[in-house]
Amino acid sequence: MAITTDSLREINRAISQLNEAAQQLQQEISRFTVRSESFSAPAEEQAQYALRLASV
C-alpha cells in the first residue's frame, strides 16, 4: 500500500475518532466508584476493575 496524502488524512481521521472514543470512555469510567468495606483502591485500579466487569 502506497502512502499518499489521502491515506494519511484517513489514518489521522481514524486516530482522532479513536482518541475521542477513548476520552468518552475515560469520562464514563470516572463516573464509576467501587465501594466495598474490603475494597479500597486508587481510582486507576477501580477503573480497571470496572472495565473487567464491563467486559464479562
Q: What is the mean pLDDT of each run of 10 residues along the chain (56 residues)?
A: 90 95 88 60 79 81
pLDDT at 27: 85
What pLDDT does residue 50 have?
A: 82
The answer to whether 26 and 39 have CB atoms below 8 angstroms apart is no
Locate cell 477503573: which residue? 47
Number of domains within the chain:
1
Q: Collapsing DSSP states into helix, strand and coil, what is residue 10?
A: helix
Residue-number span of the structural domain to which 18 is assigned: 5-54
Contact 29, 47 (CB under 8 A): yes
pLDDT of residue 42: 76
State residue 36's pLDDT score: 54
Residue 51 has a pLDDT of 85
